[in-house]
């Protein structure tokens, strides 16, 4: 800009973002063949279980990555128009893929004989000590074929090739995601490192579980958009967890006494309280007594125990059983049937 009797301005056009537009061999700008040439982010929407404090709507989250990176705005609409801005992404997320299949493992303890091989196009990982990992460091979300996300903790991380990481000392099926772990994960499964770049979508309470269309657009003058993506989130955080420690014994009167232990999603990690809080307005369960995969008797009860009388067993099976297969689900208000726990009990 030159100021005088007349202001003179010289300018040249460049692409918005981190780098100028690519040029053809003769020096002319290369024309874009489509929106994806300017803006083609990798976007992942996650319906996660309760991972900490916050309402159920806070665990519907989004992660995005693009190279070169530019800030993005995520908007939603219940139709095809009237999109409303919900969240701004200012940091790229670490979104990768599994190099090798990952079979179901053990839950509730470290799995020393298994490792995750992960390709990450951006960013790195680091090992942490056991206490830091138990306190929430190094969390990875793996998408199962069912659509659910398994939450995995890892203490060991080493880069075995450029952009390829080997994760060890795994804690599988965290935050009640045993169902996702049981499905297993094929090679190419999406994996998202859960950190501050993975942000809540900003749902309202009444939007939990409601299917909406979502657009992702770059901040500034860069043209293009990604989407629309159809996504409904927040339901996983409202789903009652599967009970644990299913047990049973046959008494002298021939009846079978069944019991289990409730799990909680909210404020349930403290070892100091005598009992964890109840997540639902009332405690209730559905118990299915199975013959193979088919229920022969279903009951709803208000306590984590049930007595299966001998006459009902005879009516269901015709004779006393040496082993009994059961399925237990906690009943919820927003999600009527929680995740199932199954066991075959020797009597």
Mean pLDDT of the chain: 89
Residue 110 · residue 169 · CB < 8 Å:
yes
Q: Domain-by-domain residue ranges, the chain?
A: 35-93+198-237, 95-193, 244-346
Which H helix or E strand runs over 324? strand 323-330
Model pLDDT for residues 54-98, shown as the tens digit of each residue: 888 999 999 999 999 999 999 999 988 889 999 999 999 999 999
Determine the Cα–Cα distance for residues 94 and 120; give it in Å rounded to an integer: 7
As its CATH architecture, domain 244-346 has: Sandwich (2.60)
Token pair for residue 13?
């056009």
Give the pLDDT confidence score for residue 30 in this predicted structure: 45
Task: Assess contact for 17 and 72: CB atoms under 8 A.
Answer: no
Q: What is the CA radius of gyration of the chain?
A: 26
Distance between CA atoms of residues 163 and 156, nearest Å: 16
| Strand order through the sheet with 42-47 | 42-47, 60-65, 199-200
Q: How does DSSP classify residue 30?
A: P
CA pair distance 139, 192, nearest whole angstrom:
9
| pLDDT of amino acid 221 | 67
Q: How many CA atoms lie within 13 A of 119 on its CB side?
A: 10
The mean pLDDT values, 10 residues at a time, for the chain of 347 residues are 79 50 47 54 95 90 94 92 93 96 91 92 93 94 94 95 95 95 93 96 91 92 84 94 96 95 87 85 96 95 96 95 96 94 95
Q: What is the pLDDT of residues 155-186, one digit of tens each?
A: 999 999 999 999 999 999 999 999 999 988 99
* Predicted local distance difference test score (pLDDT) of residue 184: 87
Q: What is the pLDDT of residue 112?
A: 83
- Write down the pLDDT at residue 23: 46
């Amino acid at each position: 800009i030159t100021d005088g009797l007349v202001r003179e301005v010289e300018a040249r056009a460049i692409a918005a973002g981190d780098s100028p537009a690519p040029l053809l061999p003769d020096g002319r700008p290369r024309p874009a063949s489509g929106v994806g040439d300017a803006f083609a982010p990798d976007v992942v929407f996650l319906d996660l279980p309760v991972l900490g404090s916050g309402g159920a709507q806070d665990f519907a989250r989004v992660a995005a990555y693009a190279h070169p990176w530019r800030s993005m705005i995520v908007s939603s609409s219940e139709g095809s128009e009237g999109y409303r801005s919900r969240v701004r992404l200012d940091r790229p997320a670490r979104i990768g893929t599994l190099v090798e299949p990952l079979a179901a493992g053990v839950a509730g303890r470290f799995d020393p004989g298994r490792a995750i091989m992960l390709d990450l196009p951006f960013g790195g990982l680091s090992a942490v000590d056991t206490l830091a990992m138990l306190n929430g460091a190094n969390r990875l979300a793996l998408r199962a074929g069912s659509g659910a996300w398994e939450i995995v903790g890892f203490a060991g991380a080493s880069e075995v090739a450029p952009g390829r990481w080997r994760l060890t000392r795994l804690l599988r099926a965290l935050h009640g995601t045993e169902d996702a772990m049981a499905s297993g994960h094929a090679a190419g499964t999406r994996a998202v490192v859960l950190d501050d770049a993975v942000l809540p979508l900003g749902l309202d309470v009444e939007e939990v579980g409601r299917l909406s269309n979502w657009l992702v657009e770059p901040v500034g003058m860069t043209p293009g958009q990604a989407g629309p993506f159809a996504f409904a989130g927040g339901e996983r955080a409202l789903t009652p967890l599967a009970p644990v420690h299913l047990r049973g014994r046959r008494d002298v009167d021939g009846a079978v006494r069944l019991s289990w232990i409730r799990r909680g999603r909210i404020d349930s990690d403290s070892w100091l309280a005598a009992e964890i809080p109840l997540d639902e307005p009332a405690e209730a369960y559905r118990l299915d007594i199975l013959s193979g995969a088919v229920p022969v008797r279903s009951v709803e009860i208000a306590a984590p125990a049930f007595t299966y009388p001998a006459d009902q067993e005879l009516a269901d099976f015709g004779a006393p059983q040496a082993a009994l297969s059961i399925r237990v689900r906690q009943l919820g208000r927003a999600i009527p049937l929680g995740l199932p726990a199954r066991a075959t009990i020797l009597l």
